[in-house]
Structure 1
Amino acid sequence: MNGTRPDDTARSRVAALVGRLSTALAARVAVDRRALAAFRIGLGAVLLADLAARSRSLTAFYTDAGVLPRRALFADYAGTLSVHALVGEPWAVALVFAVAGAVALALCVGYRTRLATAASWLLLLSLHARNPMVLNAGDDLLLALLFWSLFLPLGARWSVDAVRGPDARDGREEETDLTADGDAGVSALDATETAVANVAAMAVLAQVLVMYLTNAVHKFESELWMSGEAVVYVMQADQFSYLLGDYLAAFTPLLRAFTVLWVALLFASPLLLLLTGFPRAVLASLFVGMHLGMAVTIRVGLFPVVVVVGFLPFFQTPVWDVVARVVDRLNWARGVASWRARCVSLARRLNAVDAALPRPVGAERLAALRSGGLARGRVLFTTVLPYAFLVLILLSSAASVGYAEVPDPAEDALDTVEMTQSWQMFAPDPIHTTRWIVAVGALEDGTERDVYRDAAVTFDRPDRAETTYRTSRWRKYLKNVDGADNENHRSYLANYLCGDWNRTHETDVETVTIYRGYERTNPYNGTVEAADEYELIEYDCSGEFIQNE
């Protein structure tokens, strides 16, 4: 009698189990192509906003007349590679900013999307390298999201590329092919017409999750966070609080509730990957709501906006189907059709321009060489690299909380692309001391002036410490200057203040003495627990460039 052999039965059961697990994994890492389109638009918009915000301090932070001239940059940061460091004049740096803005705009509209994504990532990497002293967690996250975007079909929907046609050199056809090859590298993680479920999609979701889990571990080590007091104390540091934060500081029970809710969300963050569909959307919306609340209560630059953009891939196909039905019901279809018609018209004009451009010498031979190694290159680019760096960021995250060690070669790879995972935002010990800068300038006429704020010298706590910082990046920079390992930067800052004052005032400053003032207040009874100021540096404006002795 013919029967089924036991080993065949076991093999079929294992195959069935693997199939179910693969299907479950694919359902959890699938990212709707419309979500990727919104993600692309958000990244482009954030890049433009970031460039605009940085431009307010372009001379101070990115030129030879600023706080980190190139001779100091190359001396303190050996091996720096930065396009922005090739020039030192304000007009030349502004030109590089303009190029970065044009590329970000191309990413936003989805023109030559993959090329625009790569160029945006490289230019942002270059910008970060030009002045590491002004970077924050939002910068790290934005760079990481752009890195993962290199492996995703961001231009497949709602883009110029999507309507340029199959003859486009960097259009929809290439995006689709690359995605298909990438999907082949993950068993059962195949991309449908609607969603993409490959290792890069998994990585972009994991990046946000890693940030929250790492930060949750750091907060778990904090008595203030675990007792529900952290946000109450953070709001006393009014160099951060603004807008609604100025009013919420008095409502301590509400702030305690926000602390408990935020800690609970951090520890519930693994559900962002375990849940699917509408349950995931509800949890993601809670995170988005908290970050939008952060945006109108504490001044932390573009970090909340970057996180909101990072959440767009978490909203899966059912959510976007609802959005599409709402658009239909609200009679917005005509507007969408009009927008698409304009995109089609623009795409046709771009195609005509592309066709008119002269082909470089040897273009046909180059195309033949590319086609020969294209399959191998695609597998490397869309599967091997994302896999490798996904493992590396997970390892780096575990190392940042003491659960693993990163081998030196892996650490070098992470450092090269600025993907080291260290998410300590307001943890383990949240900032709860108000701090401000007083830069006492002794003028040549015998008087004194605060040469940072161009105001009378006073060491009293300002009414609003937040207003004493020119921008949130200035606050971050001055915090870093106060660090024990940054003594040289105190000279750089003082030298900049000397030069900036003397360029813009008739009476020159001869010496600058920089102080750091601070005050810590009990949020429950309003009493001052500590207050003082201490000297960072006394600097002779006519002396040596570095004066740390």
Structure 2
Amino acid sequence: MLGFWTRTSAFICWIFSLSQQHRLNNCAAYSGDALRTCLLFWAHFQPLADVWSLDAANSLSTKVRRVEPELLQDEAELRTPVSGLRERMKSTACSNLGPTREDIDERDDRKDTRSAGTAAPLCAFLLLMQMASMYEYTAATKVGSTWQQGSAVLQTLHLRQFAREPMAGFLAMFPQLCQFLTHSTWYVEKFAWMLAFLPYPSARMVAFCLFFGLHFGMNLALRVGNFQLFAMSGWLVALPRPFLDRLEALLLRLWPQVGRALQRGPKRPAKTRPQQWLFTILQLLGFALMLVTVAEGCRFRGDKCSMLGAARLVPKADGWLAKLALNQRWNMFSPDAPFKSLRVELFGVLDAPKCRGDQDSFWHHCPVVELWSSKGYPSFTEQIPTQLPNWGNMSMPAPKTVDFATNRWRKLVEDVDHSMGLGGYSCLQWRAQNPRRKLLGVWLVRARSHMPQEQETLVGAFRHWCDADGKAVIKSLPRQPWLS
């Protein structure tokens, strides 16, 4: 991220990201993991560490650079006190009628030399193609009624697991605005990425602003993990050269040392012919792999892809793409926006003298503790109250301020099969944090409500006993009256 040993660090980060995605793919992975892995892979084909990195700053300090006399004079003038600078300007204005044409040409040449390090390379096309493929894919699959009628944004803002207050509640007060945001989101995802491929700086700047504004606004109102951060960082390659030149000039004026550190380091020696051939082969390999990736995503969509005939001509490599996590499977809020609100409650049943499964009405003697904390995740370190409710008189818990601390906790409990591992995890964590109090087992309850109805339906997801002693108790616990 800071540009230290950039290529090596990028490769290590990609390996870690790839292994994490494969490890969490059947449990708690989401679109942010897939996008991060793809961006790190295509970053290998970029000229990393050439500019705005610690490697570039280190090369500036360790190698001798050719410094032009004019640059030294400009720097000396910047350090001159204001009063002395004014006198020099007056004397210069009186002695010189103005700059000659040769001076203007020389300054233009110097300006071109300074800004030559911010030109966008052709290999940035691969990152742009990855972003464009993702948006075109998800826009093509948004064919449900909520997107066609313009109710997708309003419906999503009412879901507790996604809504980020207070912005979500504020936007939900304006249905017409939400309808406009729904249609504009689809049009931006479907067509705005084309602007990034035009050879006009203004068009690329518009594309960057549209997608940056889209994800920044989504991050204010929705909780979808780090996907917004990865998406916004992916569009940085669309920034045009004039904008980067102005940004570099601003840094040089405000913070000269920082600005000089971010500049491109000294020019590297010219590549030998074998190195040039190797670089060309790698670039061609990257373009060919991108073509295979886009074609694979088109074939997977089937009739929803307008270029299905051309995609079938590309050789299949679905197995290799899956191993590299480059397969295009983007389905953010498609084909319809979700309509079920979700929250969970995790109850722990503690051991007690009369809490035995072979006794009558034993559940009236089984103390219960809530393990799903108000912070949005299971907590086993909080102090256990002295007066705990028992299973017989336990009432339906009220909704918490935060249902899920992170997007992964939500993904974990959305599916019953995936959330089964939460039982064993709870038993292990309880033994480590509370060795003096025995936990017999846990009961996970899922609370759902359909949009626009606000009434919740609570369903017992699963029971899990920690050992053989707790099996009889947990299996014999009666269902609560507020559970359906």
Point out the more displaced range, 266-275 or 114-123.
266-275
**CA contact under 8 A between 2:225 and 2:407: conserved in structure 1?**
yes
Within the candidate set 328, 332, 356, 1:425 is matched to: 332
**CA contact under 8 A between 1:214 and 1:400: conserved in structure 2?**
no
Alpha-carbon distance between aligned partners in 1 of 2:333 and 2:395, rounded to the nearest angstrom: 29
Q: How does 1:130-141 map to 2 (within 5 A)?
A: 130-132=23-25, 133-141=27-35
Q: How does 1:388-399 map to 2 (within 5 A)?
A: 388-399=288-299
Tell me what 2:210 maps to.
286
Cα gap change, 1:408 to 1:493, in 2 (>3 Å): farther
The structural deviation recorded for 1:380 is 3.5
**CA contact under 8 A between 2:193 and 2:207: conserved in structure 1?**
no
The structural deviation recorded for 1:389 is 1.7
Q: How does 1:285-364 map to 2 (within 5 A)?
A: 285-324=209-248, 327=250, 332-339=251-258
Q: How does 1:107-506 map to 2 (within 5 A)?
A: 108=2, 110-132=3-25, 133-165=27-59, 194-198=118-122, 200-219=123-142, 221-243=143-165, 244-275=167-198, 276-324=200-248, 327=250, 332-339=251-258, 374=275, 377-384=278-285, 386-402=286-302, 403=305, 404=308, 410-445=317-352, 446-453=366-373, 459=396, 462=399, 464=401, 467-479=402-414, 481-482=415-416, 487=417, 489-505=418-434, 506=436
Tell me what 2:446 maps to.
516
What does the per-residue CA deviation read over 1:377-416, in whole Å, with 9 as the maximum and x for residues that have no partner?
A: 43433322x1222012211221332245889961111111
The structural deviation recorded for 1:160 is 2.9
What is the DSSP-based 3-state SS (H/G/I as helix, E as strand, rest coil) of the residue aligned with 2:160? coil
Alpha-carbon distance between aligned partners in 1 of 2:299 and 2:10, rounded to the nearest angstrom: 29
**CA contact under 8 A between 1:461 and 1:517: conserved in structure 2?**
no
Alpha-carbon distance between aligned partners in 1 of 2:133 and 2:464, rounded to the nearest angstrom: 43
What does the per-residue CA deviation read over 1:37-70, in whole Å, with 9 as the maximum and x for residues that have no partner?
A: xxxxxxx2xxxxxxxxxxxxxxxxxxxxxxxxxx
Cα gap change, 1:373 to 1:436, in 2 (>3 Å): same
Cα gap change, 1:458 to 1:288, in 2 (>3 Å): farther
**CA contact under 8 A between 1:235 and 1:245: conserved in structure 2?**
yes
What does the per-residue CA deviation read over 1:257-308, in whole Å, with 9 as the maximum and x for residues that have no partner?
A: 2112111212223423443311231232022112111111111111111111
Cα gap change, 1:408 to 1:511, in 2 (>3 Å): farther
**CA contact under 8 A between 2:208 and 2:238: conserved in structure 1?**
yes
**CA contact under 8 A between 1:452 and 1:497: conserved in structure 2?**
no
**CA contact under 8 A between 1:121 and 1:146: conserved in structure 2?**
yes
**CA contact under 8 A between 1:209 and 1:272: conserved in structure 2?**
no
The structural deviation recorded for 1:248 is 2.1
One-letter code of the match for 1:206?
M
Alpha-carbon distance between aligned partners in 1 of 2:157 and 2:60, rounded to the nearest angstrom: 55
Alpha-carbon distance between aligned partners in 2 of 1:442 and 1:194, rounded to the nearest angstrom: 62
The structural deviation recorded for 1:516 is 1.5
What is the DSSP-based 3-state SS (H/G/I as helix, E as strand, rest coil) of the residue aligned with 1:537? strand
What is the DSSP-based 3-state SS (H/G/I as helix, E as strand, rest coil) of the residue aligned with 1:468? coil
Q: How does 1:526-541 map to 2 (within 5 A)?
A: 527-528=453-454, 531-541=456-466
Tell me what 2:87 maps to.
none
**CA contact under 8 A between 2:292 and 2:315: conserved in structure 1?**
no
Note the residue ranges of structure 1 that are not aligned, 5 or more in a row. Answer: 1-43, 45-107, 170-191, 349-370
- Flag the structure with larger Rg: 2
Alpha-carbon distance between aligned partners in 2 of 1:268 and 1:515, rounded to the nearest angstrom: 43
Cα gap change, 1:231 to 1:461, in 2 (>3 Å): farther
Cα gap change, 1:233 to 1:342, in 2 (>3 Å): closer
One-letter code of the match for 2:412?
Y
Q: How does 1:82-101 map to 2 (within 5 A)?
A: none
Alpha-carbon distance between aligned partners in 2 of 1:128 and 1:504, rounded to the nearest angstrom: 29
**CA contact under 8 A between 1:117 and 1:150: conserved in structure 2?**
yes
One-letter code of the match for 2:439?
V
The structural deviation recorded for 1:504 is 2.0
RMSD of aligned alpha carbons: 3.3
Alpha-carbon distance between aligned partners in 2 of 1:211 and 1:251, rounded to the nearest angstrom: 29
Alpha-carbon distance between aligned partners in 1 of 2:372 and 2:338, rounded to the nearest angstrom: 23
Alpha-carbon distance between aligned partners in 1 of 2:395 and 2:164, rounded to the nearest angstrom: 23
One-letter code of the match for 2:224?
V
The structural deviation recorded for 1:227 is 0.7
- Provide TM-score, normalisation by structure 1: 0.61
Alpha-carbon distance between aligned partners in 1 of 2:60 and 2:281, rounded to the nearest angstrom: 24
Cα gap change, 1:459 to 1:247, in 2 (>3 Å): farther
What is the DSSP-based 3-state SS (H/G/I as helix, E as strand, rest coil) of the residue aligned with 2:437? coil
Alpha-carbon distance between aligned partners in 2 of 1:458 and 1:299, rounded to the nearest angstrom: 29
Note the residue ranges of structure 2 that are not aligned, 5 or more in a row. Answer: 64-115, 267-271, 353-365, 374-378, 476-484
The structural deviation recorded for 1:426 is 0.9
Q: How many residues align?
A: 373
Identity of aligned residues (%): 23
Alpha-carbon distance between aligned partners in 1 of 2:16 and 2:192, rounded to the nearest angstrom: 31
What does the per-residue CA deviation read over 1:326-346, in whole Å, with 9 as the maximum and x for residues that have no partner?
A: x1xxxx5255431256689xx
**CA contact under 8 A between 1:451 and 1:501: conserved in structure 2?**
no
Tell me what 1:57 maps to.
none
Alpha-carbon distance between aligned partners in 2 of 1:216 and 1:415, rounded to the nearest angstrom: 22
Cα gap change, 1:408 to 1:388, in 2 (>3 Å): closer
One-letter code of the match for 1:123?
F
Alpha-carbon distance between aligned partners in 1 of 2:248 and 2:424, rounded to the nearest angstrom: 57
One-letter code of the match for 1:135?
A
Alpha-carbon distance between aligned partners in 2 of 1:129 and 1:318, rounded to the nearest angstrom: 40
What does the per-residue CA deviation read over 1:54-99, in whole Å, with 9 as the maximum and x for residues that have no partner?
A: xxxxxxxxxxxxxxxxxxxxxxxxxxxxxxxxxxxxxxxxxxxxxx
Alpha-carbon distance between aligned partners in 1 of 2:212 and 2:60, rounded to the nearest angstrom: 37
**CA contact under 8 A between 1:233 and 1:431: conserved in structure 2?**
yes
One-letter code of the match for 2:45?
F
**CA contact under 8 A between 1:295 and 1:304: conserved in structure 2?**
yes
- Provide TM-score, normalisation by structure 2: 0.69
